[in-house]
Amino acid sequence: MNVPRRTNVTKLSSTYIAEHEEKKQKAARRRRVVAVRLVVWSLLFAIFASALVYTLHSQAKAIDAKTAEQQKLKEQLAELERKEKQLKEEMKKLHDDDYIAELARKKYYLSKDGEIIFVLPEK
């Protein structure tokens, strides 16, 4: 295992050694500051990226919902236009006396003079 060994070397105390040790400490502090800055910027970037992904996902869901609603409304519009066309045709037919007579005979069992109406059961 890695057990630190004690060495019997003594450090010299000189201005060169003191300056060298001070440079080492400053470099170590700079490395720590750079590492902390890197971690902080990485976290900020991760938070920003997560917010963007969440926003894009929620907008995509909203667009899908609106697209489905639009399709549903288009189908309803087509159905209403078909009914409108059918009702307009019915209005045109109601201006015809022969159609009104036929409709009255079918719906209200009205008959002409001397005519007998038989109602047959539907299958």
Helix (H) or strand (E) holding 80: helix 15-94
Helix (H) or strand (E) holding 102: helix 97-108
Q: In whole angstroms, give the CA distance from residue 105 to residue 103.
A: 5
- Could you tell me which residue, 108 or 92, shows the higher pLDDT? 92
Q: In whole angstroms, give the CA distance from residue 42 to residue 36.
A: 10
Domain extents in the chain: 13-106
Q: In whole angstroms, give the CA distance from residue 53 to residue 69.
A: 24
- Judged against a pLDDT cut of 90, whether residue 117 lies above it is answered with no
| pLDDT for position 1 | 54
* Strand, coil or helix: 9: coil
Q: What is the pTM of this model?
A: 0.52
Q: Which two tokens stand for residue 96?
A: 């015809």
Per residue in 63-81, pLDDT (tens digit) is 999 999 999 999 999 999 9
